[in-house]
Structure 1
Amino acid sequence: MSLIVWSHPYSAYGQKTAIALYELDLPFELKLVDGSPEVMEDFLAVSPFAKMPALIDTAADRTVLESSILIEYLDRLAGGGRLIPTDPEAALEVRFMDRILDIYVGGNMNRIIFNRLGRAGTPNETAMAQDAAELEKAWDLLEA
């Protein structure tokens, strides 16, 4: 099996995929997306939206994008049932948690950090407070 993963260590979604690869003990080659023109040209040919991670399974001649889909694909490659339960109800719960963590936890945390670091200009305290409130709702939901 020949898996090539395009990612960067700072990518939360790349880290999520790396955890799955290591947990499933699947060998892979990392292609570091470092922002250089040469690498970006190759990366954009694989991931037209420039989103990480991207996976190429050369054995299946298949490209897989989006970390959640990648993890399901990797789980199937490894025999299934280790990361995504085979029970449909349990699988729904895993997918639900995945979406909550990606959208409502990760999304809000990323906006707060981006805002706090000032990369959006002057930090927008109102937006950060709204994101923090949404983050609290997500934590409450996960802890329920």
Structure 2
Amino acid sequence: MILRSAPASPFGRKVKIAAALLELGATLRSVDADTTDAADSLRRENPLGKIPTLVLDDGTTLYDSRVIVEYLDHLAGGHRLLPAEPAHRFRTLTLQALADGFTDAALLMVYEQRWRAEANRDARWTAHQGDKIERALGALEAAPPNGDIDIGHVALACGLGYLDLRFDGTWRATHPRLVTWLEAFAAAVPAFAATAFKPS
């Protein structure tokens, strides 16, 4: 299987860590994609031109990260990262949605800086996205996840990792319980360090 992604993508990282936890890493080959290049085959593989996209052996494509992770979990026998018991499953899916949501907000803040000329940047829009991140981190600081590692934990770790990468880890000063949680996750999941993007 081919994973179209980019080294800094937090959602591509989520898929890579999930594959490692499911012992499927060897079945996945990561191929960088350029979402801005109209000639990149990504736009044929995923009409949205977004990453991550998974290309299966028969040419079928799956996207986005949540769908890909569910497929990988299925390949691994099911209910490994996505629990079967309903209450646990929906807690996990809600945590994943919260983590993916604040990561999306962070990406939008980065894109505002990267894609708009300085004179056209909207401070209110940026603050609106920043507020989403702060509310999410506040809720997670009050009650960090516990129990066995599931896809919610993976999504949260990748989101926090993205804040470290793009926002210099400023979240750490005011969220000590999440810092401790992330340290424990990193110690338990070697794939977290292995998938970290290191800018040159």
Instruction: Report the TM-score range of the alignment, normalised by the length of the smaller protein.
Output: 0.7 to 0.9
Q: TM-score, normalised by structure 1?
A: 0.81
Instruction: Report the CA distance between 1:134 and its aligned residue.
Output: 2.0
The alignment of Structure 1 onto Structure 2 pairs a total of residues equal to 137
Q: TM-score, normalised by structure 2?
A: 0.61
Structure that is richer in strand per residue = 1
Q: Does 1:55 align with 2:51?
A: no
Q: Which residue of 1 aligns with 2:3?
A: 5
Q: Tell me, yes or no, if the aligned pair for 2:5 and 2:32 is still in contact at 8 Å.
A: yes
Q: Which residue of 1 aligns with 2:132?
A: 134
Structure that is richer in helix per residue = 2
Q: Which residue of 2 aligns with 1:76?
A: 74
In structure 1, what is the Cα distance between the partners aligned to 2:96 and 2:69? 11
Using the TM superposition, name which of 87-96 and 27-36 deviates more.
Answer: 27-36
Structure 2: give runs of 5+ residues left out of the alignment.
Answer: 144-200
| CA shift digits 1:104-133 (9 cap, x unpaired) | x11221223333x45322243332222222
In structure 2, what is the Cα distance between the partners aligned to 1:32 and 1:111? 21
Q: Tell me, yes or no, if the aligned pair for 2:42 and 2:50 is still in contact at 8 Å.
A: no
In structure 1, what is the Cα distance between the partners aligned to 2:132 and 2:109? 11
Matching residue within 121, 136, 139 for 2:117: 121
CA 1:131–1:23: 2 relative to 1, 3 Å: same
Q: Which aligned runs of 4 or more in structure 1 are off by greater than 4 angstroms? A: 35-38
In structure 2, what is the Cα distance between the partners aligned to 1:37 and 1:108? 25
Q: Which residue of 2 aligns with 1:87?
A: 85
Relative contact order, higher structure (CA 8 A, sep 6+): 2
Identity across the alignment (%): 26
Structure 1: give runs of 5+ residues left out of the alignment.
Answer: none
Q: How does 1:102-117 map to 2 (within 5 A)?
A: 102-103=100-101, 105-115=102-112, 117=113
Using the TM superposition, name which of 128-137 and 48-57 deviates more.
Answer: 128-137
Instruction: Report the CA distance between 1:100 and its aligned residue.
Output: 1.1
